Structure 1
């Protein structure tokens, strides 16, 4: 006699996965868009001071992603659509995207610019963003496209800038709770839309080497933090990543694109970016260090992966004779190592950069 089927109890809580069902990383590898930089269901932040070409850099990334091209030597693994939420200077964003496409001989690309004040502080604002994404995807992939069926639509959402994204909802970028509210709403958007990559464009503070402006909560909330610095030659460096090595990614510089001439005969231009190999060789050379910096770096390297909290690092440095007469020597040495990309700090713990 066949045993009657016993109805399974429906779970009442959140979904879960048993340890025995977790696949090996080689069986469930991360789904990359641009390998090593942009991956599905992750968030990156690209920060730099005014004039660092951060928006121009991400516009260049948008064209590469949408066209299926490699980007700064990083392989394009999945050509996909890009939605660029231009919370400021939307006209500049349009001209810049057009200039980059023209310089590469490209015409039709799955890129959409949303020139709107986007509020993501309040949960009820998520619906408006989701509706916008659905409208754009219908244009990209046809009116029958349904992201709810498991198909992935626009793979990358860019928000320019982070400060305007917070201010639009009356938030304060110095408040961790306001930043947390936005990240919670971004996750809600990812959950509904199949997990696109979210790229945030933001500013560094008054001291660029101290990371993003405002609350440091953003450092813990993103999967990758990229800081842009430099004068004529800019360098994009990973300063925090969940599963990628920290250090310089690539270098680039400004390039002027001319569209033509206006009615007065003056050129119509916009700044875009181009790769440069000028500093590649210099990146392999060890930066010049002061005696204090060399000693403090050695102490940090000896601590290994565990690193040192500031107090312990100071104590070891004092035992080595640093900061006994002038306490500021300790601060200066730490800041110098961080600025040179040789040390990083998170939640008062320091580690040597490999």
Structure 2
């Protein structure tokens, strides 16, 4: 609800302009008879197509509410979908605040959610290519906040967390299962499922989500992912991305930090979120995830802060992907679920030098995994060999046998250096838990 006093309306033209915006947005409007530019009757005579709406509403059973609202105000606008009012308020004179240096010094600091990274009311984004681990690190961060435990060395303020699983809800339930197993249970983490569309006007999902936010008052809300939570969004449109920002601000208005999981641009070189620049401009924090070129190149994922209004962009945010084994399914196959584990010190910084052929093959494997979003399930040996042999990056020899030999040596070298692993005929980016899985398979086959 927005209340506009007589001092903010300098002419009848402004008032009529406001009413035209109001009608376009199907917003109810009331005018106090005490307005210096005329009464309700004057306005209805000037704008007949408005009068019907105004008169019917004023004469409805809401007369008592109208009287109460009109007390001390000249113009009151009410919308069922009030996000429009937050982003498209009528033109009025701004309300400036003038603060002296001493008043600035005395103003309270924003309450942090993750110290030096996220504060209450912030809007942030986790960005990266498909398969890099965005939807592994995001629930890990959320779970640590829900338990009030440090994440990547940063303090967290314990509080309720909403994780909106708009993409792969079933898979996210499994990942939460792993987090509960690895880091104990918590009643402050809520996986929000069933959400299909925050984009449409008067979205029932947004209404339901806002109701739950009001009830539980979370300190952190994560939306995973932007593209699935806002289906049909024109990402390159200012209006479309403006809707995303408006929804995020609306959810953050009750004090929560809102974190959106999103893809990076096509070339991935700038670490910016995909789509219109309006989103990046509205962010308080932007974390870009990329497979590191350090030790076990594809094992280590490093986060680079491209924007941080709460602290330094030099925070060390590094993790690896491990796999938790939950036994076997009905077919006897192992049930494995990936999860993020922080990496510190030497493990994050130590490098292994790879020959040209091994480096090229590792890059090919990583690229194929990214394209197929298959970081968790691996790539079959036949597919990897076919892709690698089709080009000249692994071997430039014209002799087929030499190319095969170079490919075989590169595979062997990457496995020995623990850059990749082979499980059930598929190649994966190496994880320490791969050894446990291989040992388990060996025992079962014995």
TM-score band w.r.t. shorter chain: 0.5 to 0.7
Residue 86 (structure 1) aligned with residue 165 (structure 2): yes
Aligned twin of 1:229:
290
Aligned twin of 1:166:
230
Residue 263 of structure 2, aligned match among 203, 215, 218:
203
Residue 265 of structure 1, aligned match among 332, 341, 364:
332
Aligned twin of 2:219:
155
Aligned twin of 2:4:
none
Query: What is the number of equivalent residue pairs in this alignment?
Result: 256
Range 254-263 or range 113-122, more displaced: 113-122
Aligned twin of 1:49:
129
Q: Tell me the CA shift for residue 246 of structure 1.
A: 2.3
Distance in 2 separating the partners of 1:99 and 1:39:
27
Aligned twin of 1:239:
306
Residue 107 (structure 1) aligned with residue 167 (structure 2): no
**TM-score, normalised to structure 1's length?**
0.65
Distance in 2 separating the partners of 1:234 and 1:26:
40
Larger Rg: 2
Structure 1 residues 78-109: Cα deviation after superposition (integer angstroms, max 9, x where no partner)? 211111111110011111011012112x1233
Flag the 1:180–1:137 CA change in 2: closer, same or farther, 3 A: closer
Q: SS of the residue aligned with 2:230?
A: helix
Flag the 1:98–1:281 CA change in 2: closer, same or farther, 3 A: same
**TM-score, normalised to structure 2's length?**
0.52
Aligned twin of 1:179:
241
Distance in 2 separating the partners of 1:111 and 1:136:
13
Q: SS of the residue aligned with 2:316?
A: strand
Distance in 1 separating the partners of 2:342 and 2:222:
21
Distance in 2 separating the partners of 1:119 and 1:175:
18
Aligned twin of 2:150:
70
Aligned twin of 1:300:
none
Structure 1 residues 171-215: Cα deviation after superposition (integer angstroms, max 9, x where no partner)? 211212200122113222333xx2210000011122112322222
Contact 1:85–1:115 (CA under 8 A) maintained in structure 2: yes
Flag the 1:239–1:25 CA change in 2: closer, same or farther, 3 A: farther
Q: Tell me the CA shift for residue 11 of structure 1.
A: 9.4
RMSD: 2.8
Residue 250 of structure 2, aligned match among 181, 188, 197:
188
Q: Tell me the CA shift for residue 16 of structure 1.
A: 4.5
Contact 1:44–1:200 (CA under 8 A) maintained in structure 2: yes
Q: SS of the residue aligned with 1:209?
A: coil
In structure 2, runs of 5+ residues without a counterpart are: 1-71, 76-91, 292-297, 352-446
Higher relative CO (Cα under 8 Å, sequence separation at least 6) belongs to 1
Aligned twin of 1:305:
none
Distance in 1 separating the partners of 2:158 and 2:123:
18
Contact 1:36–1:74 (CA under 8 A) maintained in structure 2: yes
Contact 1:251–1:280 (CA under 8 A) maintained in structure 2: yes
